[in-house]
Structure 1
Amino acid sequence: MTIYEKIQDEIKADYYQQNYPNDGQRFVAWYLFNILHQDRNQAKDAITDGADDKQIDAIVINDDIQTVYIIQGKFISGGAVDAEPLREVLSSWMQLRDLVRLQTVSNQKLQRKLSEVAKAFEDEYEVCFELITTASLTTSAQNDLETFQKQLADISENEDFDAIITVVDEAELSRRYELALETDNPQINYTMDLSESKFMPVGIAGTQVVIAALPLKECIKIPGIKDGSLFQKNVRQSLGTSNAVNKKIRQTILGDKHKDFFFFHNGITAICNRLEIDNSKMQLYGLSVVNGCQSLNTILSCSETAKKLDETYVLFRFYEIPQRDRADLISINTNSQSAVKPRDLRSNDKRVLNLKRSFEQKFPQGYFVTKRGEMPPAEKNKKFVIDLSDLGKYLIAWHSQRPNISYGETKIFDKYFEILFKRDYKPENIQALNNWMQEVLKNWSDKNPLGLNETLLTMKAYAPYHHLYAVSLIFAIGNNKSDRVPSPNATWEAAQLNGMVDQIVKTSGRCLNTALRVASNRTLPNGAIFSPQNWIKSKQSLNDINAAIEQYIDMLPTMEGGEQQYQKLKDTISLGQEQFEYRLQAD
């Protein structure tokens, strides 16, 4: 069965038939759901296809990797597509450079998504144009793709607009689909053709090693580059094409010095669980690149040029390393080629190490994850596992009362790290934040037990932090201390003691829902279009949540049976003055 036939069969499901009017939209929705891991609400929200869509079928904003995906889909049975779809992608790129004009001539759904794109541009997100198709490109289309990649590279050098263009054709779509069927941490098994490479297998310190000069055109065939699955054990994912080192890599590939790429580059380090060589075929099991994420993503952004470079190589080191702890050390110690931002090095900060030590002493059944890609031991209790990145987001939502910036790791670990992370922060408070967030997230499933607005469910990357913020506000407002922040552990213990954890989480979630409804009905100046995504990232959302909670607490005694509920809530949330402190400044 071809990938076209697979998709055609899957989009016959009721969800696709009932929510999308044609197979073109159903194909794009299928891609968003299966490949970009958007849930069904997010996928529906992302699609902009229709009249006046300006050659943009969908827009996905991934805050975790700070990337805007502009997607054009072509659902075609067999054959090849010519350059016309690529020119449509090029058209969308040209129009995006003038967002004001584009917003005035586009349909209402695209207008709203463009307001989110504008905010992403302010935060210097990378743009990735993707042409997804169930066919293959003609030769002329491949030539046009190479031209467009070079044009985007030139513009990123001369203007503040960093973008790449990628074609997800029949072969790549099939590979991504197969990968998506695996687990959340897929194991990549790959057979590499070394017939055009120069390689040498050796044994070092009891470890099987292969040193290879690999042609760039072979690099782009390695699975898992763009979706990041190849770099699970790396300390960081792609830093984007705007990174200074990545720009130089791209200049070398596209310039007349490409044959010297091997000498300019420090090399790429890959590890695997098992390695087998048979003549010029190398079978790699559990493949992961631990140093070279930036380079491989940059090479992929110049894929059409790289395919034509016969004498351009990059140094690869393949290590057979089945031991996880040894693999982690290799990953940490080999990452020096690109400038490492502070947030990538915080795992070794003394304050973080002290928090980890005190947390694991207090909760021996738990584990504090400090490194990207690190997995807690299997015997640890998952309810007592906390990730450094998540903790930073919880801290800024609760103690700085700024959930609207919880989605941005850059600000947390660069700008606000000194403020947020204290060596003497109590492990009980860490676990209390962990407990509250686990309870919050139970209500952000597809079953939607709180009946949250469908738009909120499209914002799972950041809206749950507003839910956590609302929990803290119930205690603060209930004690007439709206300018203070309650101790997380004190709130958790009080709620548990009174059997009110579930009720407080539900109440705070419904107040968040109310705040969005009120905001969406508010008249905006100059005829501006309301964007829930921009609202959730603004301080206005905090004011609206505050108002919703104040109104709920004030109105509760007047509701039927509310007096008893009000008294139980008051008894639960009443805390001593010593349990409050001023918020940590983060704006």
Structure 2
Amino acid sequence: MESSDLNYELLSKRVARVRERTGLGESAAFLVWFLENIYRLEETDARDAVCDHSNDKGIDGIYVDHNNEEIHFLQAKIRQSDNGKIGDVGPKNLMGSVAQFDAPDKVKTILSGNADDELKRLITRIQLAEMVAIGYSLVGVYVTNESHNTDSEGYATVTPDIVIFDREEIAARMVEVSTTDGKKGTFTFDTSYVDPLKMKIGTNEDDPTMFVFPARALQLVHMDGIADGSLFRENVRYGLGNTSVNKAIRGALAAKASHASFILGHNGLIILCSSADSSKSGRLTIKDYSVVNGAQSLTSFYNDKSKLSDDLRVLVRVVEVQDEALARRITENSNNQNAIKPRDLRSNHAIQLRLQKEMNDADGSYFFEIKRGEKAPTGATVITNDEIGRALLAFDVREPWSAHQIYKVFDEKYAEIFGRPEVTAQRAIFVHRLQGVVGTSLPKLKNRPMASYTLTRYFMLYLLSEILRDNDASRPYVANPASLSAPQLEEFLEKCEEILKTVVVDLNVESKPVDFDYKSILKSPKQGGELAQSILASYEKDVEREKAETFTGWAPS
């Protein structure tokens, strides 16, 4: 994004889309847009953080960053002038407002006063008084499409508890995700052998139109983007390889005598497009099209083109749709040939697309896989979103005992895991590298069945997280791994490997008894938590006795 994209005329169009789906005013909608795109929050979490009403005590939103133990008090300002400068008045007023919340008693006073009800509900919901009481830092976050000037820069320099997002900073952090990458240009079906059924879905002029007809497989394989999978980019997954469904399709292709009856046992394809024109006799022309259901079949047809015949046809539904939300619902609800997993339904979510683009735009050595069947660039190290999601669940959310429940990663824990400002491509790579260190340590466990147990590596990652966060020297790099250069990261990881040697020794002792039921313990928050505290306490004793490696006194070279 360019900073000029935050000029009022252009920004207002982005904000208008948020206003349309939320019903919020312009300022609140701007803050929601910011939280979704810069803080990377889930839509619901972004909405929940905003309280831009009258008598809101000068606070437009509150976000609690549990990872860094900070409470962010947000204020948003949109300026229509393209040359607007921030100055220091707005930021000073914000910090004055933040001071109203700097003690538990002050928070309780606001709750008992005449403050806006939505603000009170937000304060109660996030347990603000409790967070202040246990020492969470208070941070003022000023969000605007204005530009910095000497006054605002000077104030920010002498006020460490304020963060100012001006237009340049927002533009630098914005990761634009194209919504048209999976759409192809124009394709014309020969329908001279059949009259497609045309249906208007609804009574309004803007409601979608659907064409249903049996399409020849020989025609379908000429659509763009089958070979590289780009035609299916808006699907929830790509071709899944050698599944039972695909084996059956290939078997049917080989039996040409039964091609005419193939359509009777096939669910068909769904093609979404921006327009479908049947005005020319025997022709149906579609534009901006994508296949959202049928990737398995179409890929099989393409790979076995030589086995196709004119008799092999599949039922095709072409849906002319303008509403992106409706298009997503069609995509999610129509996939049922191979089992759909929660991960699949999140594969086109903005957070996942943003992470993938961010990683792809880096040095190209890593590829973030968000869809099953996705092809990684040659030579790239693949990081899958389900694997990193479980790792973040253990390392950041600190729930290693839930890491075996993969559905939670993309369901009830999704926003908590992925919908946080710090979850960037850089963080995903960092946690992936830490997983590698844990993997190197696992063979040193004497209980071999436990060493190979999936939850063990997440439990050890959790232990490492606790150790790193408890040390003043390593804590900043856990919060911001991007501050480590490539050589410094290697040095950091080597230090972690040495620390885990001590952890493994203690875990070997703890798991030695014959009645040690690691399967039950590692799945139990209570038992797993007690085991972790025992190991961490033993590690601290070894540090005091100078028998264990520690980050104390360490600084990257």
Q: What's the TM-score bracket when you normalise by the shorter of the two chains?
A: 0.3 to 0.5
What TM-score do the two structures reach when normalised by structure 1? Answer: 0.38
Structure whose CA Rg is larger: 2
What TM-score do the two structures reach when normalised by structure 2? Answer: 0.40
